[in-house]
């Protein structure tokens, strides 16, 4: 029965959001993501009091482990990677609900054991038959695991309980494979049971894009083609491919992060205001703007892909991509990608969005720079403004989280000279709370059934639609360019902007 007082019904968003009775099943529990991100995030949530007392964690993998071995593995991962301090009483309680199921993904018996384990946990821990299945497995196993869940009736939601599927990227490797995968997943799970992870959406600074734009009056009036010259979205990493040759080779930078993280950043930067801050309204606006993205006609001039060559990184010698262990020496996989996109709508017509990403670049930084047009007229003479760049609003996603506004100011002295200065907001200075890890936020949202921060099928498919022609063009035309490790990418990417009379920021 609904109360007659809408104010009483409204949830106070400042109150802690605590998950109800539930458990998490992780497939691929021995993988890197699980150890470095998922297990520590579960502990951090428990430590912050956001999980129910009987919360349960089931690991499913091939390894010959007992429950204790699994718990030991989680313990080590938590000790090494968790964000919040270790507290024995939290660990003791959490470890009560840890179980391990040994088996291959095609092993029917193992899935029956999983079902039994879940039932036992319902009785012992009070999980209420509410379980999320986290598919932290190589993409080739997605269909098999999903079908096994169906075959063993593990996706069924009975008597008010819930079952949810959490799917890690990459969600397909092109539009056709993403559609196939969506079909397979939706044969088993209804759309509101599926949570596709794009961990960038779990980052505080990424959520802040919407707060900055829509909770203030200052920025929105100039957030359009009348004032914005162009937008640069950069995701630079200083690391190479590390031990991920098997995953990365053949996928490359554009599929790895432009298709998801960077296009989501573009969508949040460029979309219209949603009618409400809820999953449907957000998805509607993101879908609309992704659907309006247009590729320039000449892909040779508006896209660049490249591979890192040997060089120096952080004072150490670094090998080139083709010399990395496990990489085919003839590989044409991109470790750097830059693309110019346009958005065909009234707000953005004619404003280029330049996206770039790369491994082994100068330093790790992700930012969105909204670069404004120059003043239409200047009363100062040319020499006074020689050192003045374009005004810019830079959303610093990581690592130095915050926002910078760059504008011109008079240099103190008897003559008139205007130079760039900046006004800074830094999370570390303005807030005492530290930001939760993206995976903490996203796992909690899955347990709460809150889908705001998860891309929908349409968004994933539209993103592939943008990327597919670029990948096809690259596959047909020549080899990737090269850039020295530790630099800011290939000269071809600088040329791409220079042709438009612009240059990349050096963050």
Does the annotation flag 83 for ligand binding? no
The residue among 86, 90, 22 whose CA lies nearest residue 52 is 22
The residue among 289, 295, 288 whose CA lies nearest residue 352 is 295
CB neighbours (10 Å) of residue 70? Answer: 25
Does the annotation flag 169 for ligand binding? yes
Does the annotation flag 359 for ligand binding? yes
Closest residue to ligand BG6, judged by C-beta, is 256
Q: What are phi and psi of 424, to 5 degrees?
A: -120, 140
CA distances from 133 to 130, 140, 189, 384, 503 (A): 10, 17, 11, 62, 45
481's enclosing H/E stretch is: strand 481-484
Tokens at 487, concatenated:
């630099």
Helices (H), 410-476: 427-430, 438-448, 457-476
Does the annotation flag 158 for ligand binding? no
- The answer to whether the beta carbons of residues 387 and 417 sit under 8 Å apart is yes
Nearer to ligand BG6, 95 or 260 (CB): 260
- For residue 380, the minimal CB distance to ligand BG6 (Å) is 41
Tokens at 264, concatenated:
């989501």
- For residue 359, the minimal CB distance to ligand BG6 (Å) is 7
- For residue 448, the minimal CB distance to ligand BG6 (Å) is 22
Does the annotation flag 204 for ligand binding? no
Nearer to ligand BG6, 237 or 445 (CB): 237
- For residue 200, the minimal CB distance to ligand BG6 (Å) is 7
Nearer to ligand BG6, 285 or 401 (CB): 401
Tokens at 460, concatenated:
């994933």
Residues engaged in binding ligand BG6 (CB under 6 A): 237, 256-257, 366
Does the annotation flag 317 for ligand binding? no
Q: How far apart are CA 366 and CA 244, in angstroms?
A: 21
81, 152, 173, 261: which is the annotated catalytic residue?
261
Q: How far apart are CA 507 and CA 504, in angstroms?
A: 9
- For residue 243, the minimal CB distance to ligand BG6 (Å) is 12
Q: How far apart are CA 427 and CA 429, in angstroms?
A: 5
Active site residue 261: yes
Rounded to the nearest angstrom, the gap between the alpha carbon of residue 332 and the centroid of all alpha carbons in its chain is 25
**Which residues participate in the annotated binding site for NADP(+)?**
62, 104-105, 169
For the annotated catalytic residues, the residue numbers are 261
**Which residues participate in the annotated binding site for substrate?**
199, 203, 237, 256, 359
**Which residues participate in the annotated binding site?**
62, 104-105, 169, 199, 203, 237, 256, 359
């Amino acid at each position: 029965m609904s109360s007659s007082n809408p104010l009483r019904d409204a949830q106070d968003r400042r109150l802690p959001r605590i998950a109800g009775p539930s458990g998490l099943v992780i497939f691929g529990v021995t993988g890197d993501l699980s150890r470095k991100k998922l297990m520590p995030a579960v502990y951090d949530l428990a430590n912050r009091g956001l999980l129910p007392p009987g919360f349960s964690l089931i690991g499913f993998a091939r390894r010959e482990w007992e429950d204790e071995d699994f718990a030991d593995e989680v313990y080590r991962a938590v000790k090494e990677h968790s964000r919040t301090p270790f507290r024995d009483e939290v660990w003791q309680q959490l470890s009560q609900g840890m179980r391990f199921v040994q088996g291959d993904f095609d092993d029917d018996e193992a899935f029956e054991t999983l079902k039994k384990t879940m039932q036992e946990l319902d009785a012992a821990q009070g999980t209420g038959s509410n379980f999320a299945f986290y598919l932290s497995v190589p993409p080739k196993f997605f269909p098999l695991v999903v079908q096994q869940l169906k075959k063993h009736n593990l996706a069924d939601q009975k008597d008010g309980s819930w079952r949810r599927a959490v799917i890690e990227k990459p969600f397909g490797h092109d539009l056709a494979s993403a559609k196939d995968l969506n079909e397979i997943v939706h044969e088993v799970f209804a759309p509101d049971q599926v949570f596709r992870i794009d961990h960038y959406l779990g980052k505080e600074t990424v959520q802040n894009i919407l707060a900055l734009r829509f909770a203030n009056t200052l920025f929105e009036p100039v957030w359009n083609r009348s004032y914005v010259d162009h937008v640069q979205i950069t995701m630079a990493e200083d690391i190479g491919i590390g031990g991920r040759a098997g995953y990365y080779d053949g996928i490359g930078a554009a599929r790895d992060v432009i298709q998801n993280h960077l296009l989501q950043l573009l969508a949040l930067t460029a979309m219209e205001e949603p009618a409400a801050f809820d999953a449907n309204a957000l998805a509607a606006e993101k879908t609309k703007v992704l659907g309006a993205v247009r590729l320039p006609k000449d892909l040779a001039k508006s896209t660049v892909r490249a591979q890192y060559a040997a060089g120096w990184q952080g004072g150490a010698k670094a090998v080139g991509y083709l010399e990395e262990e496990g990489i085919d020496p003839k590989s044409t996989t991109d470790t750097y990608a830059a693309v110019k996109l346009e958005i065909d709508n009234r707000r953005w017509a004619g404003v280029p969005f330049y996206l770039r990403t790369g491994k082994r670049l100068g330093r790790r930084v992700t930012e969105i720079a909204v670069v404004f047009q120059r003043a239409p007229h200047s009363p100062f003479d040319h020499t006074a403004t020689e050192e003045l760049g374009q005004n810019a609003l830079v959303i610093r996603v990581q690592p130095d989280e915050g926002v910078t506004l760059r504008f011109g100011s008079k240099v103190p002295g008897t003559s008139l000279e205007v130079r760039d200065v900046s006004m800074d907001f830094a999370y570390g200075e303005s807030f005492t709370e530290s930001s939760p890890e993206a995976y903490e936020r996203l796992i909690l949202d899955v347990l709460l059934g809150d889908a705001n921060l998860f891309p929908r099928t349409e968004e994933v498919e539209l993103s592939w639609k943008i990327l597919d022609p670029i990948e096809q063009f690259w596959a047909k035309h020549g080899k990737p360019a090269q850039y020295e490790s530790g630099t800011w990418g290939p000269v071809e990417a600088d040329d791409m902007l220079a042709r438009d009379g612009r240059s990349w920021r050096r963050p």
